[in-house]
Structure 1
Amino acid sequence: MLIKSADDKSKRLALLEDLQKSPLLDRRQRDWLRDEQFRLKRGIAGERDAAHFLDNYLRDDPDRMLLHDLRFQVDGEVVQIDHLIITRSLYVYLLETKNFNGNLRINEHGEFSVEYSGERVFGIPSPLEQSRRHEGPLRKLFERLEICGRNGGAPQIEHCVLVSPSSLTHRPPAKAFDTSNVIKADGFRAWHEKFQQNTTFTPGRFVGALMNIRGADTIEEFARKLVRQHRPSDLLALPEFMKPRVEVGAAVPPTVAPRREPVAPVQAPVPSLAADVAPQDAAPERRKLICATCGAKISFAEGKFCWNNEKRFGGLQYCREHQAAGR
């Protein structure tokens, strides 16, 4: 049964794309935005493709709960899981999705690399070890949420890596390093059915599963407990070096006192733009994405840059053209 779908990350993609239009970026910032956008797009595509095959297999199965795109915070540790399956026998499958342009290579030491066209080979962190690192914090969470078998036994956790169906995987001999849990996304059903069959005919595992078995309603409640612990990442968060900086030597607008009516019939000086708005009136304007000079609609990124440089822009916001022109 499908309990949770992947979070919508379109706002993150829109932010990364919009920020790349800024003329104020340095090379490091521009490169980071391009790479982050590429990585996010590939990640979304890989998780979406894997979810398609998993949904077709498990969406209507009342004995297995399927959750996509989970993020937990456990004792200061962040755990991100692409796909999670929990069964009535308290088997929990953690599925890590990897979407490569090239072909995957695994050597006899369990080291992973990706080979691209032109014989370029790049080493990558082991996705199996990445998934296994999640196990400790996840077990703590299971214990706190009282996700356990009938006899109080802890869930059995299995780790799998799902790769693109179009990717080739070069594997070492099974005796040197077992890669049976590195699976093409469209082959998970066959892998899972074989795994269940092997588990059924292994006396130790069969007895353990029998002692842990729970009702369908119970494992659905377990799954919904996990969803309530999901803590989505901040889609607008950026690393420190991406925050806008005021250029050295840039003019800072002087503080202007609120306009007052003259006490004598003397012609009052023409107030500046900042003087037309008293400090208490500036707050509502600050959140309107309208250029204070030309009245054109501006992007969130342009507005955020002005908000983060309140002294420079007098609490107002401007389009990129009028930011660069000093308003």
Structure 2
Amino acid sequence: MLGRKGDTCVLIKSKDDESAFLKELELRAAGTGPSAKQAASELRIRKAGLKGEAESAYLIDFHFERSPNWAVIHDLRLEHRGRTAQIDHLLINRWLDIYVLESKHFNAGLKITQDGEFLRWDDYRKTYTGMASPLEQNERHIAVLQDVTQTLEWPQRLGLRIAPTFHSLILIAPTARIDRAKRFDSSRVIKADQLKKQIDKSFETENAFLGLLKVTAKIVSGETVAAVARQLVALHRPLQRHRERESAPATTRPSANGRIEPTFAATATPVAAAIIQPPRPPPPMPAPSVPGPPPLPAATQETGVVCKACGKRAGTILYGKSYYFKCDACEGNTAIRFTCQPGHKPRLRKDGSAFYRECADCGSSRLYHRNRT
């Protein structure tokens, strides 16, 4: 049991149950049309992400969930001053070291260039494709988390708040291949089964003086660590995904990890259901509500290519060295380029005479243009 004096089993929160949302995606994907294709794409991406998170959670719990020195939180979503952080896993120890862990699942492998660009292997196209940097995503998570901790009842020593230390690690499936560039420090990208060894190594590298200073100046009780973790869990704001009716409109909002989060009009998932026997957590602080950006165009709306020379939309998408638009009015050629969230790599997908603008990083897909047949 958590919170009993002398008992420091500190798995504070498990992953939220997403079975209802996955079932809804399966039903939508079984339909027809662009909305079904979008649901199928989102379902595929979400299942892969859940698989990676579950693998990492198992290894984290195996080593840390019953340790007297650690508090463990899975799936923590924080909203603060208009920013959102979706944290896969959080570890807090008695020295107030806070490890922010981002899980990534890759079917084939990952490549990190010397400039720090992350590429994933696309087995269908037999090439590497770009993706958002998980290191940068995690830095945004930490920025939000740092601000949130300033609002909590925090451990003090001699009347001063004990400063936490934040650590960023990216967890990759143990079976995945990682190609690393020698001139870029990718030491924070590790296999999930190497996590405990990585944390133990960070303690071993501290010299004796700094280690003694850390123990005497920062160490707190296991009960204090659990209390801090429960305050964070009380601020958990689950993503609203369950719709009240089939026609409920979807909107989007940006999160600190750079993804576009779909939100639906619905009843909130009770926060308490995700907490494992919390002993009287403090009341949650109100999170400011900031409206997200306008919704993406519907999948059936053709808002795509425009001729750069004459501004007309009538024409045909052709392929040379890459896809381009040939205008019927002036016969000019226009290169096709997309923009999305920072670090995202949207692409054009052809399906018969239809062309779709898709981004795997945020799970978006919409009809971009349709050639005349």
TM-score, with normalisation over the residues of structure 1?
Answer: 0.68
Name the structure 2 match of 1:34: 40
How far is the alpha carbon of 1:203 from its aligned partner? Answer: 4.5
Does the 8 A contact of 2:65 with 2:72 survive in 1? yes
Distance 1:15 1:83, change over 3 A: same
Distance 1:185 1:65 in 2: 18
Q: Distance in 2 between matches of 1:182 and 1:195?
A: 15
Residue 61, structure 1, aligned to residue 72, structure 2: no
Residue matched to 1:15: 24
Match of 1:115 in 2: 121
**Per-residue CA shift, 1:113-158, capped at 9, x if unaligned?**
1124464101111101100012222111101003345341321000
2:155, 2:224 within 8 Å by CA — same for their partners in 1?
A: no
Paired residue type of 1:195:
S
Query: In structure 1, the residue corresponding to 2:99 is in which secondary structure?
Result: strand
Q: Structure 2 matches for 1:232-243, cutoff 5 A?
A: 232-236=238-242, 238-239=250-251
Distance 1:80 1:190, change over 3 A: same
2:313 is matched with: none
Q: Match of 1:87, as an amino acid?
A: N
SS of 2:205's equivalent in the other structure is helix
Partner in structure 2 of residue 127 of structure 1: 134
Tell me the amino acid that sits aligned with residue 143 of structure 2.
G
Question: Match of 1:163?
Answer: 172
How far apart, in 2, do the equivalents of 1:209 and 1:177 lie? 33
The structure richer in helix per residue is: 1
User: Which amino acid letter does the alignment assign opposite residue 217 of structure 2?
Assistant: M
Alignment of 1:1-327 (within 5 A): 1-23=10-32, 26-27=33-34, 29-117=35-123, 119-150=126-157, 151-173=160-182, 176-199=183-206, 201=207, 203-204=209-210, 207-208=213-214, 210-236=216-242, 238-239=250-251
Q: Is the 8 A contact 2:170 2:189 kept in 1?
A: yes
Q: What is the DSSP-based 3-state SS (H/G/I as helix, E as strand, rest coil) of the residue aligned with 1:38?
A: helix
Q: Which residue in 1 is equivalent to 2:345?
A: none
Distance 1:75 1:213, change over 3 A: same
Change (3 A) 1:115 1:213: same
C-alpha contact (below 8 Å) 1:42/1:99 kept by paired residues: yes
Q: TM-score, normalised by structure 2?
A: 0.60
Q: Structure 2 regions of 5+ residues with no counterpart?
A: 1-9, 244-249, 252-294, 301-373
Query: Is the 2:29–2:38 Cα contact (8 Å) retained in structure 1?
Result: no
Of all paired residues, the percent bearing the same amino acid is: 32
The code of the aligned residue for 2:21 comes to R
For residue 109 of structure 1, report the CA deviation from its aligned partner: 1.5
- Provide the secondary structure at the position in 1 that maps to 2:225: helix
Rounded to whole Å, the distance in 1 between the matches of 2:156 and 2:97 is 10
The structure whose Rg is larger is 1
CA RMSD of aligned residues (A): 2.2
CA distance in 1, matches of 2:225, 2:17: 26
What is the deviation of 1:22?
3.7
Q: Check whether the contact 1:103–1:169 (CA below 8 A) recurs between aligned residues.
A: yes
In the alignment, the residues of structure 2 paired with residue 137 and residue 205 of structure 1 have an alpha-carbon distance, to the nearest angstrom, of: 28
Q: CA 1:208–1:101 in 2, change beyond 3 Å: closer, same or farther?
A: same
CA distance 1:3–1:187, change in 2 (3 Å): same
Q: Does the Cα contact within 8 Å between 2:120 and 2:130 map onto a contact in 1?
A: yes
Deviations 1:170-194 (A, max 9, x none): 1122xx2221111111111111111
Question: In structure 2, do the counterparts of structure 1 residues 223 and 172 end up closer, same or farther at CA, with 3 Å as the change threshold?
Answer: same
Assess if the C-alpha contact under 8 Å between 1:148 and 1:155 holds in 2: no
For 2:210 and 2:162, locate their aligned partners in 1 and report how far apart those are by CA, in whole Å: 14
Check 1:66–1:130 CA distance in 2 against 1; reply closer, same or farther (3 A cut): same
- State the alpha-carbon separation in 1 of the partners of residues 202 and 224 from structure 2: 23
Deviates more, 1:203-212 or 1:213-222: 203-212
SS of aligned partner of 2:186: coil
Q: Where does the alignment leave 5 or more consecutive residues of structure 1 unmatched?
A: 246-327
Structure 1: distance between partners of 2:241 and 2:208: 45
Task: Rate the CA distance shift 1:115–1:19 in 2: closer, same or farther, 3 A.
Answer: closer
SS of corresponding position for 1:55: helix
Deviates more, 1:116-125 or 1:31-40: 116-125
Q: Read off the aligned partner of 1:183 and give its amino acid letter.
A: I
Q: When the two structures are aligned, how many residues end up with a matched partner?
A: 239
2:20 partner letter = K
Structure 1 distance, partners of 2:28, 2:297, is: 10
Q: Give 3-state SS (helix, strand or coil) of 1:195's partner.
A: helix
